Amino acid sequence: MKYYFCILLFCIVSVILVVCWWTYANQIKGEISEAHIKLLSPEKYKSLFIYNGIWLAPKNQCECPKADHVHVYQMEDYIDKKDLASVKERRRKEFEHYQKRYPSMTQDIVIAKPNMPLSYPIQGVEVMPLHMIMIPGLGLHGVTEEKYQVILRASLGTLNTLADVSDDVVRGRGKKELIILTSDVELLNFILEHVTYTSVVYQLSAVDMMTFESRDHVAQFPVIIRQPSLPKLIDPGADRKISSLVTVTTKTFLRYHKLRLLIKSIRQYYPDIKIIVADDSEVPEKIIEENVEHYLMPFGKGWFAGRNLAISQVTTKYYLWVDDDYLFTENTKIEKLLDVLERTNLDMVGGSVKGDTYSFQLLYEQGDDGDCLHLRYGSFHKLDGFPNCVVTSGVVNFYLAHTDKSRHVGYDPLLQRVAHSEFFVDGLGILLVGSCSDVSVSHQDHNPASDPNLAKVEDQYKPFRDNTDAQIKFKLALHYFKNRLKCYSTR
């Protein structure tokens, strides 16, 4: 009896231990499982993606938060309230038109299925409009079927195969759907290896999301339709002299005494280089200098209109932009800036004006109701191979640039008075910009002129130079519509 009692007691204790262990194990498992599926707190994950004080992570709405030493401009504040609704509606329609003209090349996300027997290209398939290519990498592997069937579908092109097989095996040659039916997997893969795609819609840039399916599996992959542009090469001459590669450009207004000093300083170091001057003075003076082209404009046409005119006449690969009150010195080494552009993929490289590079970053965020732009002084990182140079978004008004790329961006002629960073805003995503601190230009004195006639000229000039409240309001309202900005912040 005592023996049976011990067995019973042992069984009861064992059951209790098993239950306790099961409860404990599930509790631990639940804690571990909960720990594995738990998201970081908003405060934690926001702290992980801060760049220069700005949270650069995906979100539906962007904003320009107030902070110490940060100036924030809400663009709608600079639109007259009575006009805001109609301006907003016009902007919406223009943005829709813009999106039609420049559709995103990456708007469709394709997720690869696990353990799929289909092989196919995931990127790199590109064809010119109306051209034919073979689609590489198509195949079916690791499955056995009595009769194999695969289907390929396109939307902007037609499909075919170079394989010489009967219409019973390949159906739909020259159409947007190609069906392959065969009991021979080797033949199937031979046909797939030689499938062709022919673009039938003329578009400069488009994506055809192809479908590739077997009986139990479906895959998608993109075919890029793109019309390449022709290169525009400028012959630098056999000698590759600075004068064959670079033109100096400037815009002047009233201040001919400063312009002449600038030209004199340029000639001291670069006697043969061409100089182009755009001039919107009311009473133009003749600039009679060798190898100087002087272009006249309507009075007060403006700062950026003058820049457009100047670079429109450049015939060299590069142009050097300078203000009309600069002075070249022994440190104004165009050769150094030229070396940077010739050996990198930069579109533009700035120097310094009396030690100030004025380099700045432009950080851009997109939002459903408008975008946000943040200007922060400084650079992104060093430029490889050039210890005195950095990569940035914008530079001071002393830079060497590829002529064709600047023409592509253009200087907005609506900006008639004070304007600078606006060019780099328009060039964001187009221009790759650098800045080098070891190439500099000097600035003429700002002291009042002692000559009464020159003092009178400077008095006439000053009202056109002042950055008035009206000018600021105009520029911010322009950013609101043209660049679809919701807000703008600077620090």
Q: What is the mean pLDDT of the segment spanning 265-278?
A: 97
Is the pLDDT at 464 greater than 90? The verdict is no
Residue type, 44: K
3 state SS of 487 = strand
pLDDT digits (tens, 9 = 90+) for 317-328: 999 999 999 999
67/266: higher pLDDT:
266
- d(C-alpha 157, C-alpha 129), whole Å: 9
pLDDT category of residue 117 using cuts at 50, 70 and 90: very high
pLDDT (average), residues 224-234:
93
Q: What is the DSSP letter of 111?
A: P
Top pLDDT among 451 and 76 is at 76
| Contacts with 403 (C-beta within 8 Å, 6 or more apart), sequence order | 234, 247, 311, 314, 316, 317, 318, 319
The percentage of the chain sitting over the pLDDT mark of 70, rounded to a whole number, equals 91
At 16, the pLDDT band (50, 70, 90 cuts) reads low
pLDDT, residue 116, reads 82
Per-residue confidence band for 94, with pLDDT thresholds at 50, 70 and 90:
very high
Alpha carbons 209 and 108: distance in angstroms, whole number: 8
173-210: per-residue pLDDT in tens? 999 999 999 999 999 999 999 999 999 999 999 999 99
Query: What average pLDDT does the segment 88-96 reach?
Result: 94
Q: Convert the pLDDT of each residue in 354-363 to its tens digit.
A: 999 999 999 9
Between 98-112, 173-187, 215-229, 240-254, the lowest mean confidence (pLDDT) is in: 98-112
Q: What pLDDT is recorded for position 15?
A: 47
Alpha carbon of residue 267 to chain centroid: 37
Biggest distance spanned by C-alpha atoms of the chain: 130
Q: What is the DSSP string of 195-236?
A: EEEEE-S--SEEEEEEEEE-SS-EEEEEEEEE-PPPP-----
Strand partners, 394: 360
pLDDT band at 28 (very low <50, low <70, confident <90, very high): low
Q: Inform me whether the pLDDT recorded for 167 exceeds 80.
A: yes
CB 413 within 8 A of CB 310: no
Please check the confidence at residue 384 and state whether its pLDDT lies above 50: yes
* Confidence (pLDDT) at 13: 47
Q: What is the pLDDT of residues 289-302, one digit of tens each?
A: 999 999 999 998 98
**Whole-number mean pLDDT of the chain?**
89
Q: What is the pLDDT of residue 417?
A: 79
Q: Which residues fall within 8 angstroms of residue 185, CB to CB, at 6 or more apart? A: 140, 144, 148
Burial 209-243 (b: 16+ CB within 10 A, else e): ebebebeeeebbbbbebbeeeeeeeeebeeeeebb
Q: For the whole model, what pTM was predicted?
A: 0.86
Identify the pLDDT of residue 451.
Answer: 75
pLDDT, average across residues 391-410: 97
pLDDT score, position 33? 53
Each residue of 132-152: pLDDT tens digit?
A: 999 999 999 999 999 999 999
Is the pLDDT at 246 greater than 80, yes or no?
A: yes
